[in-house]
Amino acid sequence: MKKLFLPALFIATIFTVISCQKADLKPNTTTQDQPAVVVNQTPQQAPPEVQPDDNPPIFGRVDDCLPTEVMLVAGQTMDAGTVTVSNDAEFIYVTYTATNGWLLTQTHLYVGDCALIPTNNPGNPIPGQFPYGGVHNRITSYTYQIPLSQIPAGNCGCIAAHSVVVQVDGNGNVTNTQTAWGNGTRINLSGGNWGMKFDYCSCLPGS
């Protein structure tokens, strides 16, 4: 009886172990069957389109019509006042204003195409040939009214504003006389005298 019992027990044990090993061979479906995780599904944004400029700038000044003002320079270094330029729909106005004890005795003015400023052969400006001018009795301000056709609305040109200015003592005696120009760039770039011009762009009134 004892000899028969042991083999039977041995066979039962082997059967149990084999059954457990077969059970462990079943596939694990708890994680392998899950879909992959997508980290970012948002497409990249295209760069914004550049919108065309519906109002491109117009040559010249359009929306403000503010005056252009430069220093009236006496003797190349001294502040003798201002030259102020503005325009309306018909005229360009150029005003000389003397300050700091200076007074106007002569003015000569050119308004128009920069290339047509009267000059001599060496290229120096000739104020006496400027189209506008006058002699004054020691005044502090003078205004020229020039047809807008000289620098038509929306266009640019040059102003050459020359003057002779003086200072006087308490008795009215002249103590200093100087040539003066509206501050800008030299007309004769190669040298010569220091006569100057400055740019002016006429505005479009009412635009």
- Percentage of the chain beyond pLDDT 90 is 65
Give dist(CA 185, CA 168) in Å, integer.
Answer: 29
The answer to whether 133 touches 126, Cβ cutoff 8 Å, is: no
Task: Sketch out the chain's domains with CATH numbers.
Answer: 68-201 (2.60.40)
- Position 72 scores a pLDDT of 98
Phi, psi of 31, rounded to the nearest 5 degrees: -125, -35
Give dist(CA 177, CA 106) in Å, integer.
Answer: 11
Angle in degrees, CA 42, 45, 48, rounded to 5: 165
pLDDT digits (tens, 9 = 90+) for 65-122: 899 999 999 999 999 999 999 999 999 999 999 999 999 999 999 999 999 999 999 9
Query: pTM above the 0.85 mark?
Result: no
Q: Which of 106, 116, 120 is nearest to 181 (CA)?
A: 106
The pLDDT-based confidence of 64 (bands split at 50, 70, 90) is: low
Give dist(CA 181, CA 72) in Å, integer.
Answer: 6
Single-letter residue type at 142? Y
Three-state DSSP class for residue 100:
coil
- Position 33 scores a pLDDT of 36
